[in-house]
Chains A and B, each alone.
Chain A
């Protein structure tokens, strides 16, 4: 059975590959991980210089309403900024911002095959592989932290070092005020604390991935990391923000060590910080990192509440919009309490 998007997608790609003939899209199917974009994999077939060719590709299309509202150009350009560097990402091919070809904006990228992203399968690997994943994960994050933000400065605002925290906090506090269907006494208390106790200015202003967590990178069974995904919340800011997101407790996926939740379900937080500091050459001031970790708990709550709001409004009634809200809103409150020392 041909997916109804296949011929439309083939026609679009044919228009961008003038050297190709007999362009066809086959095997299009939606895959998981599409809460903020609908994500499909497919195989592109074409003929070039008399030879049959094929390539596995990914289509990321905007849904009617998203778990997070982001510009697909930002995501597309963030991937492009790192392609070919020591931060592994798939190659971006085409960006379409108009609704004509496939009803909603989208981009097309290479599919990195042979790897997994699912956290539960990751945790089934042995300790040695998990240690390698941890080393790779925070080493790559250190590289992102020290990348030249000029790569994205043309499309993203660059805040002053002392303005990073306020811009992010007010953005997410505003979304919570907009989207929360019920009063949020824990998130509101955290927001008051964050406003009253700001972190020091960023030691450098750099590229922030915005969603760097276990589940958003591709790994192999030996512990290698081969692709960093989901750049839709990328922005320029304090690199400690990304480190704090990677440490926020819900991303432990319930895995704990002797000192509490494991960072990303992989290793003690202190070890993750040490890897990041070694790779980036930056310092994670404990008080500043605490601020950014708590901020990221608030940000997480903003995302889950926004997901529920998008569903309730009828803008996107896919089950993926419900699951994070039902599963994580209370857990995120507990994470806030834990980071604030109230649990």
Chain B
């Protein structure tokens, strides 16, 4: 998730403390609490699934890019995310190459995986 969750949580904590002060105007406090609640709702939905999404997505991207399957050894979200970045950057290159070559089958496979990617990451509250 971008921005990164730990940074956001640290800022939310600071903002909550600041807005707990008794002299904060009620409307301003309500806005802050409403936004914080919305962000926490997103976190609650993604907390348990995030590592699974990245492992599944990295495996699918590796297969699409022709890399040998390998189980990740580092399951921290930062490590999985870094590998995801590497694979998505390679996918952009592969997609451009497929377009240049007129390889419609390859393009279709890439589009299918991109659609699957957005389905994995989809939020229940998302507008689409």
Q: A327 to B42, Cβ gap below 8 A?
A: yes
The answer to whether the Cβ of B91 comes within 8 Å of any Cβ in the partner chain is: yes
- Measured between C-beta atoms, what is the minimum distance from B30 to chain A in Å? 9
From A183, A321, A342, contact of B89 by CB (8 A): A183
- Measured between C-beta atoms, what is the minimum distance from B28 to chain A in Å? 5
The answer to whether the Cβ of A283 comes within 8 Å of any Cβ in the partner chain is: no
- Bound complex: CA of A254 vs CA of B84, how far in Å? 28
Q: B128 to A250, Cβ gap below 8 A?
A: yes
- Bound complex: CA of A185 vs CA of B87, how far in Å? 10
The answer to whether the Cβ of A249 comes within 8 Å of any Cβ in the partner chain is: yes
| Contact A320/B35 with A188-B92, A254-B128, A330-B123 known, Cβ cut-off 8 Å | yes
- Measured between C-beta atoms, what is the minimum distance from B95 to chain A in Å? 6
- Measured between C-beta atoms, what is the minimum distance from B45 to chain A in Å? 10
Give the number of chain B interface residues (Cβ < 8 Å): 46
The answer to whether the Cβ of A94 comes within 8 Å of any Cβ in the partner chain is: no
The answer to whether the Cβ of B32 comes within 8 Å of any Cβ in the partner chain is: yes
Q: B27 to A31, Cβ gap below 8 A?
A: yes
| Contact A29/B35 with A249-B128, A326-B1 known, Cβ cut-off 8 Å | no
Contact with A along B63-87 (1 / 0, CB 8 A): 0000000000000000001001100
Contact with A along B98-128 (1 / 0, CB 8 A): 0100000000001100110110011101111
Q: B114 to A322, Cβ gap below 8 A?
A: no
Segment with Cβ contacts to B, from A48-56, A287-295, A331-339: A331-339
- Bound complex: CA of A30 vs CA of B26, how far in Å? 10
The answer to whether the Cβ of A311 comes within 8 Å of any Cβ in the partner chain is: yes
The answer to whether the Cβ of A317 comes within 8 Å of any Cβ in the partner chain is: yes
Q: A residues within 8 A CB of B32?
A: 319
- Bound complex: CA of A83 vs CA of B121, how far in Å? 43
From A29, A186, A252, A322, contact of B8 by CB (8 A): A322
Task: Taking A317-B11, A328-B126 as given, write out 7 further A-B residue pairs in contact, using a Cβ cutoff of 8 Å, ordered by the A residue number.
Answer: A249-B128, A252-B127, A312-B3, A330-B122, A333-B117, A335-B128, A337-B115
